[in-house]
Amino acid sequence: MHAVMDGLMRARANGDTDMAACAQGVLGQRFHDRDLTDEHLDTMIYPALEHLQTLEQEFDTGGAFKVVGVEQRVIFPGIPGAFGTVDLILQNDRFTILVDWKFGQGIGVKTVYSDGQGAIVNPQPMYYAAAALRTQPRLFTKRRIVVAIIQPRGLDPLTFTEVSRRELKMFVEDLHNAVLAAVDRDPPLRKGEHCRFAPCKIACPLWTGPLLDLTALEPVPRETAPPKHMVSSYALYLGYAKALVDTAVQFKAELDSQMHAYLENGGTIPGWRLKAKATKRQWVDTDTVAGALADLGFHHDDIFEPKLVTFQRADATAKKLGVTIPDALRVAPPPSGTTLATTDDPAPVVEPAALVEKFAASLRLLQQQQAGK
Protein backbone atom coordinates (compact mmCIF):
# COMPACT_ATOMS: atom_id res chain seq x y z
CA MET A 1 0.00 0.00 0.00
CA HIS A 2 2.95 2.32 0.56
CA ALA A 3 4.08 1.61 -2.99
CA VAL A 4 0.60 2.40 -4.31
CA MET A 5 0.45 5.71 -2.45
CA ASP A 6 3.99 6.47 -3.63
CA GLY A 7 2.82 6.16 -7.23
CA LEU A 8 -0.37 8.15 -6.65
CA MET A 9 1.42 11.03 -4.95
CA ARG A 10 4.05 11.17 -7.69
CA ALA A 11 1.22 11.32 -10.23
CA ARG A 12 -0.31 14.17 -8.25
CA ALA A 13 3.03 15.99 -8.20
CA ASN A 14 3.07 15.67 -12.00
CA GLY A 15 -0.34 17.31 -12.38
CA ASP A 16 -2.96 14.58 -11.93
CA THR A 17 -5.87 15.75 -9.77
CA ASP A 18 -8.26 12.76 -9.56
CA MET A 19 -6.44 10.39 -7.25
CA ALA A 20 -9.38 7.96 -7.02
CA ALA A 21 -9.32 7.57 -10.81
CA CYS A 22 -5.55 7.09 -10.74
CA ALA A 23 -6.00 4.37 -8.11
CA GLN A 24 -8.64 2.66 -10.22
CA GLY A 25 -6.22 2.79 -13.13
CA VAL A 26 -3.64 0.63 -11.32
CA LEU A 27 -6.21 -1.92 -10.12
CA GLY A 28 -4.83 -5.40 -10.77
CA GLN A 29 -1.22 -4.29 -11.06
CA ARG A 30 1.37 -6.10 -8.96
CA PHE A 31 3.11 -4.18 -6.19
CA HIS A 32 6.01 -6.11 -4.67
CA ASP A 33 4.49 -9.55 -4.01
CA ARG A 34 0.75 -8.99 -4.46
CA ASP A 35 -1.82 -7.65 -6.89
CA LEU A 36 -3.87 -4.56 -6.05
CA THR A 37 -7.50 -5.59 -5.50
CA ASP A 38 -10.83 -3.82 -5.03
CA GLU A 39 -10.63 -4.71 -1.34
CA HIS A 40 -7.27 -2.94 -1.04
CA LEU A 41 -8.75 0.15 -2.67
CA ASP A 42 -11.93 0.11 -0.61
CA THR A 43 -10.38 -0.53 2.80
CA MET A 44 -7.08 1.33 2.54
CA ILE A 45 -6.35 3.45 -0.54
CA TYR A 46 -9.65 5.33 -0.94
CA PRO A 47 -9.98 6.01 2.82
CA ALA A 48 -6.34 7.19 2.95
CA LEU A 49 -7.03 9.65 0.13
CA GLU A 50 -10.16 10.91 1.88
CA HIS A 51 -8.33 11.47 5.17
CA LEU A 52 -5.57 13.25 3.30
CA GLN A 53 -8.16 15.58 1.80
CA THR A 54 -9.60 16.23 5.27
CA LEU A 55 -6.12 17.02 6.57
CA GLU A 56 -5.49 19.52 3.77
CA GLN A 57 -8.85 21.20 4.40
CA GLU A 58 -7.90 21.61 8.06
CA PHE A 59 -4.94 23.81 7.10
CA ASP A 60 -6.42 25.40 3.97
CA THR A 61 -5.39 29.04 3.61
CA GLY A 62 -6.86 29.65 0.20
CA GLY A 63 -3.93 28.24 -1.74
CA ALA A 64 -3.89 24.58 -2.71
CA PHE A 65 -1.33 22.24 -1.23
CA LYS A 66 1.28 20.86 -3.58
CA VAL A 67 3.37 17.71 -3.27
CA VAL A 68 6.99 18.66 -2.60
CA GLY A 69 8.33 15.33 -1.36
CA VAL A 70 7.48 11.63 -1.88
CA GLU A 71 9.49 8.97 -0.08
CA GLN A 72 11.86 11.79 0.79
CA ARG A 73 15.13 10.56 2.35
CA VAL A 74 16.19 12.78 5.24
CA ILE A 75 19.27 12.82 7.49
CA PHE A 76 18.94 13.32 11.22
CA PRO A 77 21.34 15.95 12.59
CA GLY A 78 24.20 15.06 14.89
CA ILE A 79 23.94 11.26 14.85
CA PRO A 80 26.14 9.50 12.26
CA GLY A 81 24.20 7.11 10.07
CA ALA A 82 20.79 8.23 11.33
CA PHE A 83 18.34 8.74 8.47
CA GLY A 84 14.71 8.18 7.59
CA THR A 85 12.20 8.34 4.76
CA VAL A 86 9.22 10.69 4.92
CA ASP A 87 6.24 9.19 3.08
CA LEU A 88 4.76 12.50 1.91
CA ILE A 89 5.51 16.21 2.28
CA LEU A 90 2.87 18.80 1.33
CA GLN A 91 3.26 22.56 1.22
CA ASN A 92 1.11 25.65 0.81
CA ASP A 93 1.86 29.30 1.51
CA ARG A 94 1.69 28.91 5.32
CA PHE A 95 2.14 25.24 6.23
CA THR A 96 4.42 22.29 5.54
CA ILE A 97 2.78 18.95 6.37
CA LEU A 98 4.65 15.67 6.82
CA VAL A 99 2.41 12.63 6.40
CA ASP A 100 3.20 9.11 7.53
CA TRP A 101 1.07 6.29 6.07
CA LYS A 102 0.18 3.38 8.37
CA PHE A 103 -1.73 0.56 6.74
CA GLY A 104 -1.64 -1.95 9.58
CA GLN A 105 -4.86 -2.90 11.34
CA GLY A 106 -3.93 -4.49 14.64
CA ILE A 107 -2.02 -1.69 16.37
CA GLY A 108 -3.34 1.85 16.32
CA VAL A 109 -0.75 4.62 15.96
CA LYS A 110 -1.48 8.24 16.88
CA THR A 111 0.40 11.47 16.34
CA VAL A 112 -0.24 12.50 19.95
CA TYR A 113 -0.70 10.16 22.89
CA SER A 114 -0.67 10.34 26.68
CA ASP A 115 2.14 9.00 28.83
CA GLY A 116 0.05 9.25 32.00
CA GLN A 117 1.42 12.69 32.83
CA GLY A 118 0.42 14.66 29.76
CA ALA A 119 0.26 14.77 25.97
CA ILE A 120 3.34 13.58 24.09
CA VAL A 121 3.98 13.88 20.36
CA ASN A 122 4.84 10.51 18.82
CA PRO A 123 8.65 10.43 18.48
CA GLN A 124 8.56 8.93 14.97
CA PRO A 125 6.97 11.97 13.24
CA MET A 126 9.12 14.22 15.44
CA TYR A 127 12.20 12.37 14.14
CA TYR A 128 11.05 12.81 10.54
CA ALA A 129 10.25 16.49 11.03
CA ALA A 130 13.60 17.26 12.68
CA ALA A 131 15.47 15.37 9.97
CA ALA A 132 13.49 16.98 7.14
CA LEU A 133 14.00 20.44 8.60
CA ARG A 134 17.74 19.83 8.61
CA THR A 135 17.89 18.14 5.18
CA GLN A 136 15.41 20.28 3.23
CA PRO A 137 15.22 23.64 5.05
CA ARG A 138 13.84 25.41 1.96
CA LEU A 139 10.60 23.43 2.31
CA PHE A 140 9.95 25.02 5.70
CA THR A 141 10.93 28.65 5.07
CA LYS A 142 8.43 30.95 6.83
CA ARG A 143 6.02 28.06 7.24
CA ARG A 144 4.50 26.34 10.25
CA ILE A 145 5.15 22.60 10.59
CA VAL A 146 2.44 19.94 10.91
CA VAL A 147 2.98 16.22 11.38
CA ALA A 148 0.24 13.70 10.65
CA ILE A 149 -0.40 9.96 10.70
CA ILE A 150 -3.03 8.43 8.43
CA GLN A 151 -4.01 4.87 9.35
CA PRO A 152 -7.18 4.01 7.40
CA ARG A 153 -7.93 0.81 9.33
CA GLY A 154 -7.12 2.23 12.76
CA LEU A 155 -9.64 3.41 15.34
CA ASP A 156 -8.31 6.95 14.83
CA PRO A 157 -7.58 6.98 11.10
CA LEU A 158 -6.36 10.60 11.04
CA THR A 159 -4.36 12.31 13.76
CA PHE A 160 -2.17 15.39 13.43
CA THR A 161 -0.59 18.20 15.39
CA GLU A 162 1.47 21.30 14.82
CA VAL A 163 5.02 21.31 16.19
CA SER A 164 7.27 24.29 16.75
CA ARG A 165 10.91 24.65 15.82
CA ARG A 166 11.71 24.92 19.52
CA GLU A 167 10.05 21.54 20.18
CA LEU A 168 12.06 19.99 17.35
CA LYS A 169 15.29 21.47 18.71
CA MET A 170 14.54 20.00 22.14
CA PHE A 171 13.71 16.63 20.56
CA VAL A 172 17.09 16.59 18.78
CA GLU A 173 18.85 17.30 22.08
CA ASP A 174 16.86 14.59 23.86
CA LEU A 175 17.71 12.03 21.19
CA HIS A 176 21.39 12.95 21.36
CA ASN A 177 21.33 12.40 25.12
CA ALA A 178 19.45 9.09 24.68
CA VAL A 179 22.07 7.81 22.23
CA LEU A 180 24.89 8.79 24.59
CA ALA A 181 23.16 6.95 27.43
CA ALA A 182 22.54 3.89 25.25
CA VAL A 183 26.19 3.50 24.23
CA ASP A 184 27.44 4.08 27.76
CA ARG A 185 29.09 1.23 29.68
CA ASP A 186 26.02 0.72 31.89
CA PRO A 187 22.98 1.86 29.87
CA PRO A 188 19.64 2.18 31.68
CA LEU A 189 16.99 -0.42 30.95
CA ARG A 190 13.32 0.50 30.86
CA LYS A 191 10.45 -1.77 29.89
CA GLY A 192 7.51 -0.17 28.14
CA GLU A 193 5.34 0.20 25.05
CA HIS A 194 8.44 1.23 23.08
CA CYS A 195 9.64 -2.39 23.37
CA ARG A 196 6.78 -3.73 21.23
CA PHE A 197 8.87 -4.22 18.07
CA ALA A 198 12.29 -4.47 19.71
CA PRO A 199 14.01 -7.77 18.82
CA CYS A 200 16.14 -7.56 21.97
CA LYS A 201 13.11 -8.52 24.09
CA ILE A 202 14.03 -12.19 23.94
CA ALA A 203 17.32 -11.49 25.74
CA CYS A 204 16.24 -8.59 27.96
CA PRO A 205 16.04 -9.43 31.69
CA LEU A 206 13.13 -7.02 32.10
CA TRP A 207 11.14 -9.20 29.69
CA THR A 208 12.47 -12.68 30.42
CA GLY A 209 12.34 -12.17 34.19
CA PRO A 210 8.55 -11.88 34.45
CA LEU A 211 8.13 -14.99 32.32
CA LEU A 212 9.78 -16.98 35.06
CA ASP A 213 7.08 -15.73 37.40
CA LEU A 214 4.57 -17.87 35.50
CA THR A 215 6.01 -20.95 37.17
CA ALA A 216 5.73 -19.33 40.59
CA LEU A 217 2.19 -18.03 40.07
CA GLU A 218 0.06 -20.09 42.44
CA PRO A 219 -3.66 -20.09 41.74
CA VAL A 220 -6.05 -19.06 44.49
CA PRO A 221 -9.57 -20.42 45.02
CA ARG A 222 -11.99 -19.20 42.38
CA GLU A 223 -14.72 -16.85 43.55
CA THR A 224 -18.16 -17.22 42.02
CA ALA A 225 -19.59 -14.28 43.99
CA PRO A 226 -17.01 -11.46 44.02
CA PRO A 227 -17.10 -9.13 47.03
CA LYS A 228 -18.33 -5.63 46.28
CA HIS A 229 -16.27 -2.47 46.68
CA MET A 230 -13.05 -4.33 47.47
CA VAL A 231 -10.20 -6.09 45.66
CA SER A 232 -9.94 -9.75 46.64
CA SER A 233 -6.92 -12.03 46.41
CA TYR A 234 -8.61 -13.79 43.48
CA ALA A 235 -8.97 -10.48 41.61
CA LEU A 236 -5.29 -9.72 42.21
CA TYR A 237 -4.38 -13.18 40.91
CA LEU A 238 -6.44 -12.69 37.73
CA GLY A 239 -4.89 -9.28 36.99
CA TYR A 240 -1.36 -10.50 37.57
CA ALA A 241 -1.86 -13.68 35.54
CA LYS A 242 -3.37 -11.73 32.63
CA ALA A 243 -0.42 -9.32 32.55
CA LEU A 244 2.06 -12.22 32.51
CA VAL A 245 0.22 -14.13 29.78
CA ASP A 246 0.01 -11.01 27.58
CA THR A 247 3.75 -10.52 28.04
CA ALA A 248 4.35 -14.15 27.07
CA VAL A 249 2.29 -13.69 23.88
CA GLN A 250 4.40 -10.71 22.81
CA PHE A 251 7.56 -12.63 23.69
CA LYS A 252 6.43 -15.63 21.61
CA ALA A 253 5.73 -13.49 18.54
CA GLU A 254 9.18 -11.91 18.63
CA LEU A 255 10.90 -15.25 19.29
CA ASP A 256 9.04 -16.91 16.39
CA SER A 257 10.05 -14.04 14.08
CA GLN A 258 13.73 -14.31 14.97
CA MET A 259 13.73 -18.12 14.70
CA HIS A 260 12.11 -17.94 11.27
CA ALA A 261 14.64 -15.40 10.01
CA TYR A 262 17.54 -17.44 11.42
CA LEU A 263 16.38 -20.66 9.75
CA GLU A 264 15.65 -18.93 6.42
CA ASN A 265 19.21 -17.58 6.44
CA GLY A 266 20.57 -21.13 6.66
CA GLY A 267 20.85 -21.55 10.42
CA THR A 268 20.09 -24.69 12.39
CA ILE A 269 17.95 -24.78 15.55
CA PRO A 270 17.67 -28.15 17.37
CA GLY A 271 14.12 -29.48 17.20
CA TRP A 272 12.90 -26.95 14.63
CA ARG A 273 12.83 -26.65 10.85
CA LEU A 274 10.99 -24.76 8.10
CA LYS A 275 7.93 -26.03 6.24
CA ALA A 276 5.90 -24.62 3.37
CA LYS A 277 2.98 -22.40 4.29
CA ALA A 278 -0.47 -23.83 3.73
CA THR A 279 -2.30 -21.92 1.01
CA LYS A 280 -5.99 -21.73 0.24
CA ARG A 281 -7.22 -22.99 -3.09
CA GLN A 282 -8.70 -20.44 -5.48
CA TRP A 283 -10.55 -20.45 -8.80
CA VAL A 284 -8.29 -20.36 -11.84
CA ASP A 285 -10.16 -17.42 -13.43
CA THR A 286 -13.75 -16.16 -13.61
CA ASP A 287 -14.55 -16.93 -17.25
CA THR A 288 -13.13 -20.46 -17.24
CA VAL A 289 -14.82 -21.44 -13.99
CA ALA A 290 -18.17 -19.84 -14.88
CA GLY A 291 -18.25 -21.65 -18.23
CA ALA A 292 -17.29 -25.00 -16.75
CA LEU A 293 -19.88 -24.77 -13.96
CA ALA A 294 -22.55 -23.77 -16.45
CA ASP A 295 -21.70 -26.85 -18.52
CA LEU A 296 -22.21 -28.94 -15.39
CA GLY A 297 -25.74 -27.60 -15.05
CA PHE A 298 -25.18 -24.70 -12.63
CA HIS A 299 -27.62 -21.80 -12.97
CA HIS A 300 -26.30 -18.23 -13.11
CA ASP A 301 -27.44 -17.54 -9.52
CA ASP A 302 -25.58 -20.65 -8.39
CA ILE A 303 -22.35 -19.26 -9.82
CA PHE A 304 -22.47 -15.55 -9.02
CA GLU A 305 -23.83 -13.77 -5.98
CA PRO A 306 -24.50 -10.02 -5.89
CA LYS A 307 -23.47 -7.99 -2.86
CA LEU A 308 -23.52 -4.39 -1.77
CA VAL A 309 -20.36 -2.35 -2.08
CA THR A 310 -18.42 -1.38 1.03
CA PHE A 311 -18.94 1.88 2.93
CA GLN A 312 -15.65 3.25 1.63
CA ARG A 313 -16.48 2.56 -2.01
CA ALA A 314 -19.99 4.03 -1.68
CA ASP A 315 -18.52 7.15 -0.04
CA ALA A 316 -16.05 7.54 -2.90
CA THR A 317 -18.86 7.30 -5.46
CA ALA A 318 -21.04 9.73 -3.49
CA LYS A 319 -18.20 12.23 -3.45
CA LYS A 320 -17.82 11.98 -7.23
CA LEU A 321 -21.58 12.49 -7.68
CA GLY A 322 -21.71 15.36 -5.20
CA VAL A 323 -24.37 13.68 -3.05
CA THR A 324 -24.62 12.66 0.61
CA ILE A 325 -25.54 9.16 1.73
CA PRO A 326 -28.30 9.33 4.40
CA ASP A 327 -27.12 8.27 7.84
CA ALA A 328 -30.24 6.11 8.20
CA LEU A 329 -28.84 3.71 5.59
CA ARG A 330 -25.97 2.71 7.86
CA VAL A 331 -26.65 1.33 11.30
CA ALA A 332 -24.54 -0.42 13.89
CA PRO A 333 -26.05 -3.47 15.62
CA PRO A 334 -26.11 -3.36 19.43
CA PRO A 335 -23.08 -4.92 21.17
CA SER A 336 -23.47 -8.67 21.51
CA GLY A 337 -21.46 -8.83 24.71
CA THR A 338 -18.41 -7.43 26.43
CA THR A 339 -14.66 -7.78 26.04
CA LEU A 340 -11.65 -7.14 28.23
CA ALA A 341 -10.08 -3.67 28.36
CA THR A 342 -7.50 -2.00 30.57
CA THR A 343 -8.69 0.61 33.07
CA ASP A 344 -7.17 3.42 30.99
CA ASP A 345 -9.17 2.45 27.87
CA PRO A 346 -11.26 5.47 26.73
CA ALA A 347 -14.34 3.34 25.99
CA PRO A 348 -17.36 3.79 28.31
CA VAL A 349 -17.48 1.58 31.38
CA VAL A 350 -20.01 -1.26 31.23
CA GLU A 351 -21.78 -1.96 34.51
CA PRO A 352 -22.62 -5.65 35.04
CA ALA A 353 -25.96 -4.75 36.66
CA ALA A 354 -27.02 -2.85 33.55
CA LEU A 355 -26.18 -5.88 31.41
CA VAL A 356 -28.32 -8.12 33.58
CA GLU A 357 -31.26 -5.70 33.41
CA LYS A 358 -30.90 -5.40 29.62
CA PHE A 359 -30.78 -9.17 29.23
CA ALA A 360 -33.84 -9.62 31.46
CA ALA A 361 -35.79 -7.03 29.46
CA SER A 362 -34.85 -8.73 26.19
CA LEU A 363 -35.88 -12.09 27.62
CA ARG A 364 -39.28 -10.72 28.69
CA LEU A 365 -39.83 -9.24 25.24
CA LEU A 366 -38.92 -12.55 23.58
CA GLN A 367 -41.35 -14.41 25.87
CA GLN A 368 -44.12 -11.95 24.98
CA GLN A 369 -43.45 -12.41 21.28
CA GLN A 370 -43.54 -16.20 21.65
CA ALA A 371 -46.78 -16.01 23.61
CA GLY A 372 -48.30 -13.81 20.89
CA LYS A 373 -47.59 -16.47 18.31
CB atoms within 10 A of CB 256: 10
Sheet (strand 158-163) strand order: 66-75, 83-91, 95-101, 144-150, 158-163
From residue 34, give the alpha-carbon distance in Å to each of 28, 40, 46, 176, 286: 9, 11, 18, 40, 19
Quote the CA–CA distance of 268 and 291 in Å, as a whole number.
Answer: 49
List, as own/partner pairs, every contact residues 34-41 make where C-beta atoms lie below 8 angstroms and the sequence separation is at least 24, other chains included. 36/4, 38/313, 40/1, 40/4, 41/313
SS3 6: helix
pLDDT in the model for residue 245? 77
From residue 57, give the alpha-carbon distance in Å to each of 39, 53, 68, 228: 27, 6, 18, 51
pLDDT in the model for residue 332? 72
Question: Tens-digit pLDDT profile for the chain (373 aa)?
Answer: 999 999 999 999 999 989 999 999 999 999 988 899 999 999 999 999 999 999 999 999 888 999 999 999 999 999 999 999 999 999 999 999 999 999 988 778 899 988 777 889 999 999 999 999 999 999 999 999 999 999 999 889 999 999 999 999 999 999 999 999 988 888 888 887 778 778 887 778 787 776 656 556 666 777 766 677 778 877 877 787 787 777 777 778 778 888 888 888 888 999 989 888 877 788 888 899 999 999 999 999 899 888 887 787 788 788 888 899 898 888 777 666 677 777 766 667 666 555 555 555 555 665 566 566 5
Residue 218 CB-density burial (10 A; 0-12 exposed, 13-18 middle, 19+ buried): exposed
pLDDT in the model for residue 214? 57
pLDDT in the model for residue 356? 52
Quote the CA–CA distance of 73 and 84 in Å, as a whole number.
Answer: 6
pLDDT in the model for residue 92? 95
pTM of the predicted structure, to 2 decimals: 0.65
Closest CA to 100 of 150, 162, 50: 150
Domain spans in the chain, listed from the N-terminal domain onward: 2-182, 193-264, 286-329
Beta strands in 32-154 (DSSP E): 34-35, 66-75, 83-91, 95-101, 112-114, 119-121, 144-150
pLDDT in the model for residue 346? 66
pLDDT in the model for residue 102? 96
| Exposure b/e, 94-119, CB count within 10 A at least 16 = b | ebbbbbbbbbeeeebbbbeeeeeeee
pLDDT in the model for residue 1? 95
